[in-house]
Homo-oligomer: A and B are copies of this chain.
Amino acid sequence: MQNVFAPHDHASCAQSALTTVERACVERGLRLTLIRKRTLEILLEGHHALGAYDVLQKLSDDGLADKPPMAYRALNFLVEHGFAHRVERLNAYVACAHPDAEHTPALWICKDCHKVAETAQAAELGQRLGQDDGFSVNTLTIEAEGSCQQCRGESSDD
């Protein structure tokens, strides 16, 4: 789970994710414009899911964007290319933990610290489950709400 719940050097964690995305954009010929990059940085500030309007507020503070479509476009760009994920249960967005490969993540939402972790092993799972009944899966959403190990052991986290 590349444990985002546990204490870790977040600055380097975020920096490395950003660098990975920057490389991926060069490789794939995608334009990581200022507003898109800043949106990613905002999501990378923590392992929390942010609503589009939270992101918009921060973009606005930076003078980069001040209307809903601007935030949604940047977020959609990141989601489309797998650099962020949409958390359906929260109507919110979280930076991707391993932005290099296409993947269908399972998301783990801690109700106490509100961090969202991600695991990758969910991909063929849906295929398999559906196959029994002749259902052909295009996209799969797996999201769990519960509590992380840290929050169950201690009282709170950031």
Contacts and interface: CB of A to CB of B under 8 A. Distances in A.
Interface stretch (A22-30, A39-47, A93-101, A130-138): A130-138
Number of copies: 2
Interface string A114-140: 000101011001100110111111111
Interface in A6-47: none
Interface stretch (A50-58, A65-73, A74-82, A147-155): A147-155
Nearest to A86: B89
B137 A145 contact: yes
A30 to B, nearest CB: 24
A83 interface: no
Report the contact-size class of chain A (Cβ under 8 Å from the partner). 35 or more
A1 to B, nearest CB: 4
Contacts of A110: 135
A132 to B, nearest CB: 8
Contacts of A111: 138
A109 to B, nearest CB: 9
Interface of A: 1, 3, 5, 88-89, 106, 108, 110-111, 117, 119, 121-122, 125-126, 129-130, 132-149, 152
